[in-house]
Chains A and B, each alone.
Chain A
Amino acid sequence: QVHLVQSGAEVKKPGSSVKVSCKASGGTFRTYTFSWVRQAPGQGLEWMGRIIPIIDTAYYAQKFLGRVTITADESTSTVYMELSSLTSEDTAVYFCAIDNWGFDYWGQGTLVTVSS
């Protein structure tokens, strides 16, 4: 049983960056693919990108190209999502998930609030 634990809530200023972590336990980290999904208040789910740690390769949604970076640290079984040039429209809950036949395991979510 895989368990994903994300870092805590963040409050950021417009124009800054945020880095959210997602630590995996209970499985074999390098065999997984991880995706990041966000959900703005009252809105639907939006896929941001994914990483395949075994080949250290990330793929990003067109909307976030140039602004998002997804990385993985196999030594700590942790994946990271960094989003830059934040605006109020980036206020959302950010989720990591195991990307398999659908997203079968999810982190608990991290609220990122962008406010001046």
Chain B
Amino acid sequence: DIQMTQSPSSLSASVGDRITITCRASLDITKDLAWYQQKPGKVPSLLIYGASTLHSGVPSRFSGSGSGTDFTLTISSLQPEDVATYYCQKYHSAPRTFGQGTKVEIK
């Protein structure tokens, strides 16, 4: 099975900072990569699919890039409401593996 590895596992940044989360697949997954945000105690929500396409209603400060095995999620200007855990996931082929998550906090 293809493994998904995220880094870092956690980060702390100031409001307004630009932050980047990395996700690496153990094999080529082309652009079949999604990113999710899960706020504490809430249901995960889709942020990005196709590695770089913003899901409906997602603020434009979120962006995704990459293809093949290396992907990034960027928040251009971190806001207090962005405190959450972020997960990458490969889709369109089984298993739909998630990364282990990156917890984002405000400094």
CA distance A50 to B96 in the complex (A): 9
A90 interface residue per 8 A CB criterion:
no
Chain B residues closer than 8 Å to A46, beta-carbon distance: 98
B8 interface residue per 8 A CB criterion:
no
User: Do A102 and B89 touch across chains, with their CB atoms under 8 A apart?
Assistant: yes
CA distance A46 to B97 in the complex (A): 7
CA distance A50 to B94 in the complex (A): 9
Interface residues of A in 46-67 (CB under 8 A from B): 46-47, 50, 59, 61-62
Chain A residues closer than 8 Å to B91, beta-carbon distance: 99, 101-103
Query: In terms of DSSP, what is the predominant structure of the interface of chain A?
Result: strand
Q: Interface residue tally of chain B, by bracket? A: 20 to 34
Q: Interface residue tally of chain A, by bracket? A: 20 to 34
B34 interface residue per 8 A CB criterion:
yes
Of A11-19, A23-31, A69-77, A104-112, which stretch is located at the interface? Answer: A104-112
Chain A residues closer than 8 Å to B94, beta-carbon distance: 50, 59, 61
Please pick, from B38, B49, B97, the residue contacting A47 in the complex, using a CB distance under 8 A: B97
CA distance A79 to B96 in the complex (A): 18
Chain A residues closer than 8 Å to B100, beta-carbon distance: 44
Interface residues of A in 80-94 (CB under 8 A from B): none
Residues of B whose CB lies within 8 Å of any CB of A are 1, 34, 36, 38, 43-46, 48-50, 53, 55, 85, 87, 89, 91, 94-101
Residues of A whose CB lies within 8 Å of any CB of B are 35, 37, 44-47, 50, 59, 61-62, 95, 99, 101-104, 106-109
In the A-B complex, list the 5 residue pairs whose CB atoms are closest, starting with the nearest. Answer: A102-B34, A102-B49, A101-B49, A47-B96, A45-B98
